[in-house]
Chains A and B, each alone.
Chain A
Amino acid sequence: MTQRDFLLPDVGEGLIEADVVTWKVQVGDRVVLNQVLVDIESAKAIVELPSPYVGVVVALHAKEGDTVAVGSPLVTIEGEIEETPATSEKPQREAVLIGFGVAPEGDAPTTRTRRSTLAPSASRVDSPSTPTVSTGPASAVRAAPPVRQLAKQRGVDLATVNGTGPNGAITREDVERAVPNEATTAPKSPSVATRFVGRELASWDEGEREERIAIKGLLKVMADAMTESALSAPQAALWVRVDVSATVARLASLRANPAYADLRFSPLTLVAMAVVDAARHFPGINSFFDAAANEVVVKRFMNLGIAVNAQRGLLVPNVKNADQLDLLGMARALTDLSDRAREGKTTPEEMANGTFTITNIGPFGIDGAIPMLPLGTGAILCVGSVVKSPWVVDDQLVVRDVVEISMTFDHRHIDGALASSVLAHIAAYLREPPNN
C-alpha cells in the first residue's frame, strides 16, 4: 500500500492557485484512473481534475471554497502500487517557459523520473473484492453517496455515527438521529456564516491584525457589476407594505396538495408570478437603457433573474422565458434554479441575459432593502420577510401577514409614475392572488 498525494497542478499556464468548487469523491471512496475527483476554479476557468492514481481516497486536504496553492496537496490516494521511496517527497515547483514545472533536484534535470516507475499494467486495483476499504486507516465508514450527501447537509461527521444498515452501513435514519438538536433550528447552512468576506474569529486575538483578501472570482464579479451600476445608472427606489394573508393561505393550500409534493412553494413563487403579470401590463419596466445605441430596449419576453445566496457567493441566474410559465411551471423552475445554484451547477449561460431581477431577503429575517440595479435591466424588486403585524381592516386592528416589497429602477427611462404603477400592481396581485 502506498499513499500518494495529488498535488494541485498548474492547469492554466502560469496559475499560482485555484479554489476548490466541488468535491466529486469523499474519504473512503475507491477511484479509478482518470475518474473526476474535484472541480476547481482558477482565474481562467472551472475545470475537472481527473485522478492520476487508482486506489482509495484517504484524505481531502481542502474544503469546498478553500483556495489551494499550485503544488500543494489536494487529495491523498492509497493504492496498491510498489514505488520507489522517493515518491513521497513533494517536489518543489518553479517557473519554467510555459507555466510551472518541477524544480531540478540539485543540478540534475531529471526530476520527472520520480513518477516514472508507475507501471500501468499493475495499476488496476479496481476489483470490488480488493479488501482495501476495511484496511485503510481513515476509510472505515460505510455509507452510500446519498447518505454522505445528507450527512454533509446536516453537518454530521459520519465517523461518529454507528451504522445500523447491512454490514454496519450508515443509513439515512442513522444520520437523522445523529443531527445535533440545535442544528435543526440554527441558521440554515453552516457554510453560510463562513463564505462572507472575512473569516469568523474564535476570539479577537486570533491571527494577524489584518486579513487581506484578493478581489477575484465571484467577489470581483460582484464588485465590478455594482460599481458600474452605481456609476452608470441614476437609480431611484420606492416601497410598499402589503397584507399578503391571502397569498400565505394560497401557499398553504398548494403545499398541502399531495399532487404537488415534489414542488417547493414560497412567497417568491407568487411574487414571480406577480412580476410577470405586472410586466405584461407595464412592459416599460422589463427594459433597459442602451446608452451606446441611444435607445431604450423593451423586451417582449422575461428572463426573470433571482439573486441566490450560493456557497460561492452571490449568484443571479435567471428563469428563461418566465412569461411562458404557469404557477406550477414557475415553482418547478425556481426550485430547479436555486438547487442548481446551491449545488454549484449554475452555468454562465443561466446567468446571462436576465431582463428583470428579484432579490428575496426574507429568509434572512430582514424587512426591506433598497437593492442595486443589475446591469442591462431596468428594475429590481426586493422582497422582505413575511411577518405577523398589526393591520387595520375596516377600521379594526387585526393581525395579518405583512411583507414589505421595494423596487429600484433606472430613472433615466423609467419615471416614478411607471415604477409606482408596477409596484402597486404587484402589491395588488399579492393581496388577492388570482386563481390560476
Chain B
Amino acid sequence: MDQLIYAAEVFLNGLMTGVMYALVALGFVLIFKASGVFNYAQGVLALFAALTLVGIQQGQVPFAHLINAVLGTHIESFGWTVPAFLAVLLTALVMILLAFLIEKLVLQHLVGQEPIILFMATIGLAYFLEGLGDVMWGADIKRLDVGLPQGISDSIETVTDQWFGYGFFIDRLDIWATAIAALLVAALVAFSQFTKQGRAMRAVADDHQAALSVGISLRFIWVMVWSIAGFVALVAGIMWGTKSGVQFSLSLIALKALPVLMLGGFTSIPGAIVGGLIIGVGEKLFEFLIGPMIGGATENWFAYVLALIFLVFRPQGLFGERIIERV
C-alpha cells in the first residue's frame, strides 16, 4: 500500500515535470511545423531570454564586461530595477527583434535547403547566441524572481495526509507551470484557429508553395513563428530559471526536450504536451521502481529508450503526420 501511494506521488510529480519538458518541446514544434527547421537553438533561446529578463529586471548594462575591458571603465548597472511584468514585456520585444534578425540574416538565405542544412544553421545560431548571451549579460549565475511561488504546497500536503495518511509533495512552481502551460497552449490554439495570421501560419505549415500562391508572405510568417517560439522560450526560461537559477546549463534542457519531441511527433502541439507527460511519468516511475536495483541515475537514457519503444510502433511519433512514401 505504501509503495502504491509513493508511486502515485512519483506519478503526479512526473506529470508536473513532464509539463516543464513540454514547455521546451513546444518551441521546437512551432518552428518545425511552420518552417521545417529543427531548431537546435531552442534551448539557447530559453537561456538567452532568461538572461535578458534578469538583466533588464536588475538594470544591468548590456555588454558591461566588454565595455569595461575595452574602455577601462567600471560600469555594471544602471542602478534601477524594472518591475517583473514590464521586464517580461521588454524581453518579449527583444525576442521579437531577435526573430526578425534571424529571419533576415540566416533563414532568408537558406530557403529551400535540405533539413539537415537548416538544422546545422540553427547550431551555428546556438553557438552565436550562447556567446552573445554571455558577452551581453555576463556568465554569473543569476537568480530569477518574477514572483512565482516555490516549494511544497501545504494545502495539498494536508489534504492528502488526511486522505491517505501520507502528505503528497507537489511543488507550487510546478502547479503554476502547469497552469501557465495550459494557458499558453490554449492561447496558441485560439491564435492559430481564430486569427487571420494564425490561419496563415497553418497554411504555411501545410504547404509552403500553396500558401505562397494565395498571397501569404512566408517571411512574415517565419518572423512571427520565431517570435512566438522566442516567447515560448522565454516562458520556459522563466520556469527553469526560477527552478535552478539562470546560467549556462539552462541551455541543456533542450536535451530533455528531444525525447519528448520524438515521442510526440515533430509537428504536433498536443504531441509535445502528451509526449512530455509520458516522458515525465515514465522516467520518474522507472527511476523510482527499477532505478535503485540497477544503480540509479537512469533518467537520462530511459527517456530515450521510452521514446524509442513508442517509435518502433509508430515511426512518426504519437501525433506526427503519417509518413507517406511514394517512389
**Do A and B form a real pair?**
no
Interface residues of A (CB under 8 A from B): none
